[in-house]
């Protein structure tokens, strides 16, 4: 019986302290001053244009960035497959010891980076920069046919940067 009385008393005291702290918080809110941003009469409000708009609010720039990112991935895929020293057209040379050295170039897709910014030009409103690393791979084998199954190791990295313009609603 004492146990139930103690639990009841404890519950009532917790409820009372909660209601008191809630009432104190309401009083604090009601009596506190709140600052409100206001423009003084006669003050000029700066006009918001594409140039003065913060980057994070510029939806048009965000759309161009998305478009350029997709364009860049397609462009890199094309460059990679059409490279004159791609894996399918690797350079094979015979070494002095009778072995064969195979060498090819490939673009590392993990290094792909894009940037887009507005331009001051009236005819080209946006400029995009595509950056990536082109890796040179080499392997040595006993015959040119054995190079197809060989493990190629990276031997050099060539940084690349291409600049594109946005004209007539397309990246060029």
| 12-35: average pLDDT | 58
pLDDT in tens, 111-125: 999 999 999 888 999
- The reply to whether 9 falls in a domain is no
Give the DSSP letter string of 129-168: EEEEEEEEEEEEESSTGGGGGSPPEEEEEEEEEEEEEEET
Provide the domain count of the chain.
1
| 10-27: average pLDDT | 56
Chain centre to alpha carbon of residue 106 = 22
More confident residue, 33 or 74: 74
- The reply to whether 20 falls in a domain is no
**pLDDT score recorded for residue 37:** 59
pLDDT in tens, 62-79: 899 999 999 999 999 999
Tokens encoding 150: 């060989």
- The reply to whether 75 falls in a domain is yes
- The reply to whether 50 falls in a domain is no
Neighbours of 57 (CB within 10 A): 9
The region of weakest confidence among 6-15, 42-51, 103-112, 117-126 is 6-15
CA–CA dist 95, 116 (Å, integer): 46
pLDDT in tens, 79-115: 998 999 988 899 999 999 999 999 999 998 899 999 9
- The reply to whether 81 falls in a domain is yes
**Mean pLDDT for the chain overall:** 82
**pLDDT score recorded for residue 148:** 87
- The reply to whether 146 falls in a domain is yes
- The reply to whether 159 falls in a domain is yes
The region of weakest confidence among 7-16, 32-41, 115-124, 163-172 is 7-16
**pLDDT score recorded for residue 125:** 93
How many CA atoms, within 13 angstroms, populate the side-chain half-sphere of residue 156? Answer: 8
Neighbours of 77 (CB within 10 A): 12
Domain interval for residue 164: 59-171
CA–CA dist 119, 78 (Å, integer): 27
- The reply to whether 36 falls in a domain is no
| 149-170: average pLDDT | 94
Answer for the pair 131, 161: CB distance below 8 angstroms, yes or no: yes
59 falls in which pLDDT band (50, 70, 90)?
confident
Full-model pTM: 0.64
């Amino acid at each position: 019986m004492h146990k139930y009385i103690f639990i009841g008393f404890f519950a009532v005291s917790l409820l009372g302290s909660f209601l008191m702290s809630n009432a104190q918080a309401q009083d604090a809110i009601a009596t506190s001053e709140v600052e409100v941003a206001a423009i003084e009469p006669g003050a000029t409000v700066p006009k918001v244009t594409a140039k003065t708009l913060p980057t994070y609010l510029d939806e048009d720039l965000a759309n161009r960035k998305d478009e350029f990112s997709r364009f860049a991935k397609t462009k890199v895929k094309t460059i990679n497959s059409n490279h004159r020293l791609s894996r399918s057209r690797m350079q094979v040379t015979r070494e002095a010891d009778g072995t064969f050295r195979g060498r090819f170039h490939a673009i590392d897709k993990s290094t792909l980076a894009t940037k887009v910014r507005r331009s001051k030009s009236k005819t080209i409103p946006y400029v995009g920069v595509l950056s990536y690393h082109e890796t040179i791979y080499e392997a040595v084998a006993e015959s040119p046919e054995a190079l197809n199954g060989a493990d190629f190791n990276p031997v050099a990295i060539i940084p690349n940067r291409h600049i594109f313009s946005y004209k007539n609603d397309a990246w060029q």
